[in-house]
Amino acid sequence: MNPLRKGLLDSLPIVIGYLPIAFSFGLSATQAGLSAGLAVAISALVFAGGSQFVLLGMMTAGGGLLGIVGTVLLMNGRHLLYGRTIAEHLPIGHTTLSRPLLAFGLTDEVFATAIGKIHAIAPFSRPHWLLGLQTGAYLAWVGGTVLGALTGAEVARRLPLVVDMLTFVLPALFLSLLLSLDWRHQRVPVLVSLLATPAMMYVFPASAAIPACIVLGASCALFGRKSNV
Amino acid sequence: MSDSITTVFIVVLCGAGTFLFRLLPMLRNAERPANPNVVRFTQAVGPAAIAALLAAMLMPFFETGASVQIHSRGIAAVASLLVTASMHRRFGGIAIPTVCGTICYGFLTLVI
């Protein structure tokens, strides 16, 4: 199968997870007073779920430029850990797709899916496969925002149960991703991150606790036996 | 809230900063690192990141409080996680376990 098409197919679980969350964002943004156009522009330009809701909340609360931008970038600081990990799986010196293009869509869910599946992709097909994965995710995110911004208020009024149910999509998606990674080979890093994150979040904001726990968990791999993901 | 110039500027800055966070580490990896510790660390980042994000996303379902409704969300979340895991064990993949776990949560919030 064409690697781009395979990547699009492999993005389906992310699409299922993204559509309701993006829908919620579009709805929240327009209810907060933003135009549908600006709501969609946020999803198109930032493309980072949780921090978009924080951005929206701080704008609604009247936050200043430095405070809002600083907080959003702190929240997204964990993305610094993703690019290098993905780059190690790409063929050296590939020129068919530039790295800026492949870096743009590196969200939590894209990264998690890529890490779980990229080993099964032939090395020189990986850039196109990754592009397909990101394209599916991006279209779902922007498309869901469009739907939410234009129709969300009516759906929430008619189907409140569906809106409540969809709050569990991302936890279910992330558990499925973790299980697909055969996490047992990284048992200690996973358990350390899983247990440390709630503890840290009671004391520190999520923007600091999450990346700290990722580094803490990954660092545990340095003390254990060599293992493969 | 109107779409002022400042608002647009904030969105552009957030987008540009997030993009650079994703891009710069990729650019630095011009050749494969020889240090095995770096390799072991980066191999563990993926699972550690997913685990940390999973834990963070589950926290709102287990907020402490005296309300029965709050506790019922936690019970529904635990049961739905078990359904998600069992569906993964049965069918593999990501889509079916995700959908089944989500539907289970929606059903349980009705009955609990």
pLDDT of residue A58: 75
pLDDT of residue B2: 52
Which residues does A88 contact at the CB level (< 8 Å), separation at least 6?
A: B29, B32, B33, B39, B42
Pairwise CA distance, residues A138 & A132, whole Å: 10
CB-nearest partner of B21 from A17, A76, A86: A76
pLDDT of residue A229: 39
To test the contact with chain B by mutation, choose from A51, A80, A193, A200 the residue with the greatest count of B C-beta atoms within 10 A, namely A193
CB-nearest partner of A217 from B29, B52, B94: B52
Q: Do A165 and B105 touch (CB under 8 A)?
A: yes
Pairwise CA distance, residues B52 & A210, whole Å: 6
Average confidence (pLDDT) over B10-17: 94
**Residue A48 in tokens:** 């980072």
Please say whether the beta carbons of B50 and B83 come within 8 A: no
CA dihedral B24, B28, B33, B36 (to 10 degrees): -30
Q: Do B10 and A69 touch (CB under 8 A)?
A: yes
Q: Do A193 and B49 touch (CB under 8 A)?
A: yes
Pairwise CA distance, residues B82 & A130, whole Å: 30
Average confidence (pLDDT) over B90-112: 86
A176-205 burial by CB neighbour count: b if 16+ within 10 A, else e? bbbbbbebebbebbbebbbebbbebbeeee
pLDDT of residue A126: 92
pLDDT greater than 60 at residue B68: no
CB contact, 8 Å: B53 with chain A? yes
In Å, how far is B65's CA from the nearest CA of chain A?
Answer: 15
Q: Do B25 and A213 touch (CB under 8 A)?
A: no
Q: How confident is the model at residue B86 (pLDDT cuts 50, 70, 90)?
A: very high
Which residues does B73 contact at the CB level (< 8 Å), separation at least 6?
A: B61, B62, B109
Pairwise CA distance, residues A161 & A182, whole Å: 34
In Å, how far is B87's CA from the nearest CA of chain A?
Answer: 9
Residue-by-residue pLDDT tens, chain A, 229 positions? 899 999 999 999 899 888 888 888 888 888 888 889 999 999 999 998 777 877 887 787 677 788 788 878 877 877 888 888 888 888 876 555 688 888 999 998 899 899 888 988 998 899 999 999 999 999 999 999 999 999 877 877 787 777 777 778 878 888 887 887 767 888 999 999 999 999 998 898 877 787 788 889 989 988 865 544 3
Please say whether the beta carbons of A17 and B98 come within 8 A: yes
Question: Which chain A residues contact residue B18 at CB under 8 A?
Answer: 46-48, 51, 72-73, 76, 79
| Cα–Cα distances in angstroms (integers) from residue A163 to residues A46, A63, B39, B99, in the given order | 24, 28, 42, 14
In Å, how far is A4's CA from the nearest CA of chain B?
Answer: 19
Average confidence (pLDDT) over B67-87: 86
In the stretch 54-83 of chain B, residues with CB closer than 8 A to chain A read: 54-59, 61, 77, 80-81
pLDDT of residue A224: 67
Average confidence (pLDDT) over B13-19: 94
**When comparing pLDDT for A72 and B23, which is higher?**
B23
pLDDT of residue A15: 92
Average pLDDT taken over every residue of chain B: 82
CB contact, 8 Å: B7 with chain A? yes
CB contact, 8 Å: B86 with chain A? no
pLDDT of residue A228: 43
Pairwise CA distance, residues A178 & A221, whole Å: 17
Q: Do B51 and A73 touch (CB under 8 A)?
A: no
pLDDT of residue B87: 95
